[in-house]
Amino acid sequence: MFSKLAVRNVRRSFRDYGVYLLTLTFGVALFYTFNSVDGQGVMTYLSQSSNSMVPVILTCIDVFSVFVAVVLACLILYADRFLMRRRKRELGTYLLLGLSQGQVSRLLMLETGLIGLASLALGLGLGVLASQGLSALTLSMFSLDFSAYGLAFSPRAAVRTAAYFLLIFLLVMVFSGVQVSRSKLLDLLQGERKNEELRPRPLWRSVVQFAGGVVCLLIAYGILLLFGMAYAVVLPQLCVPMLGLGTLGTLLVFRSLSGFVLRLVQSRPKLYFRNLNLFTLRQWISKVHSTYLAQTVICILLLLAMGITASSLGLNSTLEAAADDQAPFDLTVQNQSADSWDTVNFEGYLIERGFDLSRLGDRLDVEFYYNDPAVTGQEEVSAALGLSDYNALLAHGGYPAYAGPLPAVPSSPEQVMGNLGLSLCVVPDEMLQRLEIRRQVWFVDYAGGDKEGTEAALRPLLEALRQDAAIHTSSRLDAYASVMGSKILALFLGLYLGFTFLLAAAAVLALQQLSQAADNAGRYAILRRLGAEEGMASRSAIQQVALAFLLPLGLALIHAAVGMRAANELIAQAGKVDAFGSTLVTAGVLALVYGGYFLATALACRRLALEGRPAQRRE
C-alpha cells in the first residue's frame, strides 16, 4: 500500500518535485562527469605520454570531489526542508486519517528513495553525455582526433557517484523521518499560515547602510586594482581587508534594500499603486528584510562561479597560445650538422622509405647561415636568414611580407619559426652567397585530422637519420604535452568548482522563491476574490522571482568585472589573454544553468499563484 501511495504522491507532486529533481539530476551528472576524467580521451593520451601531471590531476579531482559532495549534501538537505514545508498540511491530513507518525515517516522515505533512484538514473545518463562532451572539448583543444578514443564509460566513477548519493539520500530519509516524528499535528496543519512580520526601518538608516556598502566596495575594488591580484593574494595584510570590505559592502547593500527601495518606489505613487506593484514589492521586501544574509552568500557564490570559470578558461587559452608560439609548425626538424655533413633532401628520403607525402601539408626547407659582421653589418646576431625564406615563414603565420630596409633584425622571430636558439638577422638572398651555411631546418604541417598517426609514422624515419647527421626534432604535440597537464588541471578544477557554486546559488534561490510562492498562494487567492485578474497575479509572481534572481546577479557581475580585470592582468604575465572568449563561454554557462533555474522557478511560482483560484458562482 505504501509503495503505491508513494508512487502516486511522486507522480501527483511532480511539479513540486521538479526543481528538487532537477537539482539532484544536475548534481549527479556533475559529480560523475568530473570523476570520470580517468577514462576520458585526453587523460588516456596523457597516460600514454607518461605525463607526470596525471596522478596530480586525479588526486586533486578526488580531493575536491569530497568538498563538492558536502556542498551537494547541504543543498539537497536544504531542498528537502522546502519540500517538507510545502507538504506539512498534507502530512497532517495523513495523521488525521489514522496513520501513525512512523507510517508517515516510512512513506516519506519511500518517496525520497523513488526520487533518488530516478535522479540517479537520469543524472548518470546525462553525466555520460556531458563526460563525452568534456572529453571532445579537451581533445579539440590539443588538436587530437576524438574518434580515435571513442565513447567511454567509467564504472569507477559510476560506482563512486552512486555510493556518494545513496549516502546523501539515506541522510535525507533519516532527516525527513525525524522531522515528521517530532512534529505536532497542529503545527503541520497550520504550517502554511505562519507569516513573517515586516518591521519598517527609518529611511536615513537604509541610506546610510547603502552608502556605507558602496564605500566599502569601492575601497575593496581600489585595493584589488591598485596592487593587483598577485599581491592581494600573497600579502595577507592586503587580502584580508579587501575580502572583508567586499563582503561587508555586499551585506550592507542587501540589508539596505528593505527600506531604501520601498521608500524610493513609494515616492512615485503612479508606479507604487499600479496593478499589484504594492503587493509585489512588500512581499519581496519582507523576505529581503530577513534573508539579506542569504542574498549575500548567493551573490558571493555567483561571483566565485563566474570568476573561477572565466579564469580557468582564460588561463587555458593563454597556455595554448604560449604552446602555439613555441611550435608554429606541427613538426620542426633541425639538421644541425649542415655545415659539416651537407644538407638533407628530407622529401626524397621519406619517399625512398615508402612514406606518403600526401599526409603532409605546408612544408618549408629553410637554410640558416653563419653571421659575418663584415658582410651583414650586424655584430650581435648568430645567424642570417634570406629574405625569401623569412617572407615564406611570415606568410605561413598570416603576417604580411617584410618590406623594410635590409639587413634587419626581426623583433620576435619566434612567432613564425619557434625557438631555435638562434639570434637572427634578415638579409637579401644574394648576400647569402658570401656566407657559410650553418643549419638546415625543415618546417612541416600535417594534412588531415589524424595528426597523431602522421607523427607516429614520420618521426621514427627521421630519427633514423641521426646515424649520419645531428638531427633534432620537435613538434607541436610535444609543446602541447608539456603544458597539457597544467591546462587540464586548471580547466577541470575551474569548471568543476564553477559549476558547483553556480548550481548551489541557483538552486538555493529557486527553492527560496518556491517556498515564498507556496506561502503566498493563499494571499493571491484573496487578491483574486477582491477582483485582481489572473494576468496581474501571474506578473506579480514572475516579478518577485525576477527581483530575487537579478539583484544578486547584478552585484555579482560588478564584482566579477573588477575581479576578472585583475585576474587577466595576472594571467597576461604568462602570455596573451583571450578575455572575450572566456567571457563569452562563461556567459553561456551562466545563461544555461542560472537562466534555466530562473525560467523553471518563474513558471512554478506562476502556477502556485494561480492554483488557489476562487470558486465560480453558479447561475
> pLDDT tens digit string along 514-529?
777 777 777 777 777 7
Q: Is residue 311 part of a domain?
A: no
pLDDT value for 280: 75
pTM over 0.75, yes/no? no
Q: Is residue 79 part of a domain?
A: yes
Q: What is the mean pLDDT of residues 453-478?
A: 81
The Cα angle at residue 588 between residues 584 and 592, in degrees rounded to 5: 170
Q: Is residue 490 part of a domain?
A: no
The residue ranking higher by pLDDT, 44 or 250, is 250
Q: Is residue 317 part of a domain?
A: no
- Is the pLDDT score of 195 beyond 80? no
Tell which residue, 161, 201, 178, 192, has the closest CA to residue 72.
161
Q: How many domains does the structure of the chain reveal? A: 2
Confidence of residue 591 (pLDDT cuts 50, 70, 90): confident
The residue ranking higher by pLDDT, 341 or 365, is 365
- How does DSSP assign 264-314, residue by residue? HHHT-HHHHTSTTHHHHHHHHHHHHHHHHHHHHHHHHHHHHHHHHHHHHHH
In whole numbers, what is the pLDDT of the chain averaged over residues?
Answer: 76
pLDDT value for 618: 38
Cα–Cα distance for residue pair 610/538, rounded to 1 Å? 7
Domain extent, residue 3, equals 1-194
Torsions phi, psi for 33 (to 5 deg)? -55, -45
The residue ranking higher by pLDDT, 181 or 103, is 103
Domain C-terminal end among 143, 162, 194? 194
Tell which residue, 557, 558, 544, has the closest CA to residue 604.
544
Domain C-terminal end among 194, 217, 239? 194
Q: Which of 329-333, 415-419, 508-512, 611-615 has the least mean pLDDT? A: 611-615
The residue ranking higher by pLDDT, 311 or 554, is 554
Q: Is residue 56 part of a domain?
A: yes
Question: Quick check: 313 and 586 in contact, CB under 8 A?
Answer: yes
Q: Is residue 558 part of a domain?
A: no
Q: Is residue 98 part of a domain?
A: yes
Question: Quick check: 571 and 484 in contact, CB under 8 A?
Answer: no
Question: Quick check: 79 and 169 in contact, CB under 8 A?
Answer: no
Domain C-terminal end among 436, 469, 502? 469
The residue ranking higher by pLDDT, 396 or 34, is 396
Share of the chain above pLDDT 90, in %: 5
End-to-end CA distance of the chain: 42
- Per-residue pLDDT tens digits for 301-352: 888 888 777 777 766 666 666 666 667 888 888 888 888 878 888 888 889 8
- Is the pLDDT score of 572 beyond 60? no
Q: Is residue 593 part of a domain?
A: no
